Amino acid sequence: MNRLELRGIVKSFGGVRALKGVDAVIAAGRTLVLLGENGAGKSTLIKTLTGAVRPDEGEILIDGTPVVLRDPMHARALGITAVYQEPMIFPHLSVLENIFAGCEITDRFGRVQTEAMLRAVRPWLSSLDLAESLLHRPMADLGLGHQQLVLIAQALVQGARVIVFDEPTAILSRAETDRLVGIIHRLRDDGRAIVYITHRLEEVPRLGDHVTVLTDGRVTGDYAASEVTEDLLLRLMMGKRHDAGPEREAIRPSAAAGASSAPPVLSIRGLSHSRHFHDVDWDASGGRITGIYGLVGAGRSEVAMTVFGALRAASGRILLDGREIMPRSPAEAMALGIGYLPEDRKKQGIFAPMGLESNLTCTGLSRLSHGGWLLNFPAMLTETQAIMRRFAIKADTPGTAIGTLSGGNQQKGLFARWAGQTLRVLILDEPTRGIDLATKAEIHGFIRQLAQAGTAIVVITSDLAELMAVSQDVIVMRQGRVVDRFRGTAVTAERVLASAIGAATSSQEHAA
């Protein structure tokens, strides 16, 4: 029986169509894997399923009956719950209270009945591998993996019949992932319908009974999990714009040759942070693009932020052109010739209500002012217009608020902030996340140009296709450590992916 069915779901945000007619069927006692790249519309689809977003067109059926999900509460009342990647928690409340937040068991005076809540949750504890002693600890004491389990427990005690997992393993260790997979199988065998959203191919055969591929807001494939091969899925995920070819090939030899003997511009030696990364070594050479691959939470951004002076390392050395540096703020790092394009465009990047001019010139204010303090408006305007032309940023005027532009144009603007500076090192953290493929290719072109001009470029990415497309050297990180590195031609997508998810055990240097 079909527990949940989506028919022709369409959703647009401000003229951009995120979902262009999605159909999906989720049966009780089955796991549906929804596979898609970043920006394929997965997150919009989850929000639709959980009532956080209302579709413009199409219908949702539960047990064959059409329903309109008013809000997440309503969806939950109908038995649909989502477990998000980064759990929404109440850090200072106990685990038990987190499980029962919003649906506490009380007596008729409203007094919270701890014993009754313990009784209600106890049957689920063993199937979730949760110790009962954890229940009285503050939620903040738990690691992310356990916090996710707590949220699953929350879904179970509320009688969830459809559980949506949103890329749950991205931030988990290997052991935690294995445990989670086991739990998901148990939940499925228990008769619940599972929707598992991921962009990781290798999870499909482990988890799915069925796989639906989402590309650019459309379903491009729908198969039983046993029928598919990774090649097929990759092709479907890429859509028709790419063929699968470049992903599997080695890096262009022309780019890889020669320069590898030059001393690195940026060297990191034994860099450790109390929480985020341990004993990390990176090298980035001038004129080359070094790709840093790893899953979310591997500590890549944190290392970059340390180099950029936004985090402080506990130990280790950072060398720029052989000289030891330890910037204490981004301003200091910039003065040394280091640039960093942050990962989260909205939170860390743009000044949404302010004009393009303010956004594009914010890293060069000292250069663009008289005597270092009085802004030189004509120069700022000229520079803004030059940048807009050079990077083909589509906006009416230099004064147009950047928040009103498309994600791709915003991202080009953020990239352009650094392109005008004279830099020794530029670290780009997910430079093309959530933008369309044409702009992606454009930005990749700009990155190569910058590298040819001699800057050492570091590209941090979770997008394997991007890694393979731009990088000449590759460093793979997992759980705060460097697990593999490749120089020149020897890099293959399988190898990188295997290292990143911990399938390969070796950690040797692969030289050209």
Q: Binding to another protein by residue 70, rule CB under 8 A?
A: no
Residues linked to residue 510 through DSSP beta bridges, in sequence order:
486
Interface region with another protein, contact rule CB under 8 A, candidates 30-38, 352-360, 473-481, 498-506: 352-360
Q: Which is nearer to another protein, 429 or 442 (CB)?
A: 429
Q: Binding to another protein by residue 352, rule CB under 8 A?
A: yes
HSE, side-chain direction, 13 A CA sphere, residue 59: 7
Interface region with another protein, contact rule CB under 8 A, candidates 30-38, 92-100, 117-125, 462-470: 92-100
* Dihedral sign (CA 168, 170, 175, 181): positive
> How far is residue 14's CA from residue 257's CA, in Å, rounded to a whole number?
46
Q: Binding to another protein by residue 314, rule CB under 8 A?
A: yes
One of 305, 356, 395, 460 touching another protein (CB under 8 A): 305
Contact status, residue 52 vs residue 41, Cβ threshold 8 Å: no
Q: Binding to another protein by residue 91, rule CB under 8 A?
A: yes
Single out the residue of 137, 184, 143, 126 nearest to residue 160, CA to CA.
184
Interface region with another protein, contact rule CB under 8 A, candidates 61-69, 239-247, 248-256, 300-308: 300-308
Q: Which is nearer to another protein, 233 or 333 (CB)?
A: 333
Residue that has been written with the tokens 């329903």 in this structure:
67
Shortest gap between Cβ of 412 and another protein (angstroms)? 16
One of 12, 369, 385, 439 touching another protein (CB under 8 A): 369
Residue that has been written with the tokens 């590309």 in this structure:
215
* Dihedral sign (CA 35, 38, 41, 46): positive
Q: Binding to another protein by residue 312, rule CB under 8 A?
A: yes
Residues with Cβ < 8 Å from 258, sequence gap 6 or more? Answer: none
User: Backbone phi, then psi, for 156, in 5-degree steps?
Assistant: -70, -45
Pairing assessment for the beta strands 425-429 and 456-461 based on DSSP bridges: parallel
Cα–Cα distances (Å) from 365 to 4, 38, 416, 420, in that order, read 54, 34, 14, 12
Amino acid at 434: G
Contact status, residue 383 vs residue 364, Cβ threshold 8 Å: yes
One of 46, 280, 350, 443 touching another protein (CB under 8 A): 350
Count of residues engaged in binding another protein, rule: CB under 8 A: 63
Q: Which is nearer to another protein, 1 or 374 (CB)?
A: 374
Pairing assessment for the beta strands 338-341 and 323-325 based on DSSP bridges: unpaired
Q: Binding to another protein by residue 166, rule CB under 8 A?
A: no
Q: Binding to another protein by residue 3, rule CB under 8 A?
A: no
| Per-residue binding letters, 416-445, with another protein (x by CB under 8 A) | -x----------------------------
Q: Binding to another protein by residue 279, rule CB under 8 A?
A: no
One of 110, 245, 322, 378 touching another protein (CB under 8 A): 110
One of 21, 221, 355, 407 touching another protein (CB under 8 A): 355
Query: Three-state DSSP class for 372?
Result: coil
Q: Which residues bind another protein (CB under 8 A)?
A: 72-73, 76, 86, 88-93, 97, 101-104, 106, 109-112, 274-276, 301-302, 305, 308, 310-312, 314, 328-331, 333-334, 340, 342-344, 347-355, 358, 362-363, 365-366, 369, 372-375, 377, 401, 417
